[in-house]
């Protein structure tokens, strides 16, 4: 498991990546550590997700449902390192979110 110092040494993600990771982490925590399902093609096409996978902040579990032509679904799981990243940087990430924790639009 990565230490706080190791996470800080790796540097910050981009603002867009911060928001994606933070939102995934909040959703995962709210639903009792359940993964977020997304189309694998969307994740593979987005360099923001690839960077988070390479840094081991998120991990994927790929499932294929139905017939062989069905699209693949990925379960996106925020790792403990990703959760730790969010905790370390939450004071900077939270104000960037367009809605507050109660779901109200920020002014």
pTM tops 0.85:
no
What is the H or E stretch that residue 77 is in?
Answer: strand 72-78
The reported pLDDT for the residue numbered 31 is 65
Domain 4-95 = CATH 1.10.3470: no
- Spatial distance between the Cα atoms of 85 and 22, rounded to a whole number of angstroms: 9
Integer-rounded Cα Rg, in Å, for the chain is: 15
Taking only the tens place, the pLDDT of each residue in 46-77 is: 999 999 999 999 999 998 777 888 888 999 99
40 burial class (0-12, 13-18, 19+ CB within 10 angstroms)? middle
- 105 DSSP assignment: B
Average pLDDT value over all residues in the chain: 86
Taking only the tens place, the pLDDT of each residue in 23-37 is: 899 888 766 667 888
Is the pLDDT assigned to residue 4 strictly greater than 90? no
């Amino acid at each position: 498991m990565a230490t706080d110092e190791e996470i800080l040494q790796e540097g910050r993600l981009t603002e867009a990546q911060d928001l994606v990771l933070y939102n995934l982490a909040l959703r995962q925590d709210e639903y009792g550590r359940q993964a977020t399902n997304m189309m694998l093609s969307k994740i593979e096409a987005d360099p923001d997700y690839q960077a988070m996978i390479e840094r081991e902040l998120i991990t994927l579990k790929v499932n294929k449902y139905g017939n062989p032509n069905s699209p693949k679904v990925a379960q996106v799981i925020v790792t403990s390192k990703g959760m730790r990243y969010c905790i370390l940087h939450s004071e900077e990430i939270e104000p960037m979110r367009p809605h507050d924790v109660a779901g109200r639009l920020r002014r």
